[in-house]
Amino acid sequence: MNPLPKLGNTLSRQFLARACSGWRPYYIVNEFPKCGGSWIGEMIAQALDVPFPRNRFPSLQRSILHGHFLHPQGLRNVVMVWRDPRDMFVSLYYHSYFRNELYNGPLVDQMRRDLPFDDYNDIQRNLPVFLDAHFQRRIWPHYTWNDFYTHWQNRPVAAATSYEAMRRDTPGELARVAQKLTGHPLDRRQAQAIADDHAFARKAKRAAGQADNNSFLRKGVVGDWVNSFTPDSLAILDRHAGQAMAELGYADTSRTASPKP
């Protein structure tokens, strides 16, 4: 795959988001990678009746811009999407090591070259090394979840949501976010119809919980980290990000990790 179009897409998205989001307007759906921003962005686009250009050059009209913006400078109309870092890191691991339909091949090649494992399916054994490499900024995206948290946690945004909140009550949370962006209520029946259109089972053609490691829509459940994290993995994550996780409300220790392999 030629990386130049993707680079041009990224640079144009950065410029438009920072220079034009206040007056175009663009609605910025921002997340650390693998927090559900693509799914949420699609639903917001339908609720606001605006385009959502994905994996292509952004539109010059009023639309959704989705990204992983570390620095807030210049960004307006931001929807911040959070997710339990334990679930996020599991999703990020699979996205980093298994090809899917959304052109992640260059990333997979790079990860398998820079941080190889004997068995990529053995996430329980590999995750501690993966987490250490992440917090040492040795692997993509080359900034840490802590960096992202530090830049964004106390920044005023148009709306903040989470993958868990959207999964728990998709139409209700979607209506809340849409009203925050526009000042106008979203009809509950319309919100429900949008939620139905973007339900995991409808998009992935399989039930939530049925994993496909070679799909961008891998599993679609909350709390599945317990099947991948060992006590060693949890200790690494807690050492690096425990306080920030607690401040976001992700300090639930009532469930246990898988035993060490």
Same domain, 14 and 134: no
Overall pTM surpassing 0.75 (yes/no) = yes
Same domain, 112 and 138: yes
151 located within any domain: no
55 located within any domain: yes
Same domain, 90 and 62: no
Partner residues linked to 26 by β-bridges: 63
**Is residue 19 left, alpha or beta, with left meaning phi > 0 and alpha meaning psi from -120 to 50?**
alpha
Tokens matching residue 182:
């526009």
Residue 78 pLDDT: 96
**What is the sign of the dihedral through the CA atoms of 131, 135, 139 and 140?**
positive
Count of structural domains within the chain: 2
Same domain, 187 and 212: no
Residue 78's SS3 state is strand
Q: Tell me the residue range of the domain where 126 lies.
A: 85-142+206-248
Residue pLDDT tens, the chain, 261 long: 444 345 456 667 777 887 777 766 889 999 999 999 999 999 999 999 999 987 666 666 789 999 999 999 999 999 999 999 999 999 999 999 999 988 899 999 999 999 999 999 999 999 999 999 999 999 999 999 999 999 999 899 999 999 999 999 999 999 999 999 999 999 999 999 999 999 987 876 768 777 766 777 677 789 999 999 999 999 999 999 999 999 999 986 445 566 555
Same domain, 120 and 222: yes
Radius of gyration of the chain from its Cα atoms, rounded to whole angstroms: 18
255 located within any domain: no
Same domain, 7 and 100: no
Residue 236 pLDDT: 96
228 located within any domain: yes
166-99-138-14 Cα dihedral, nearest 10 degrees: -60
How many whole angstroms from its chain centre is CA 227? Answer: 20
Same domain, 79 and 90: no
Same domain, 136 and 235: yes
Angle at 49 between CA 174 and CA 154, to 5 degrees: 45
Same domain, 175 and 65: yes
Same domain, 138 and 212: yes
153 located within any domain: no
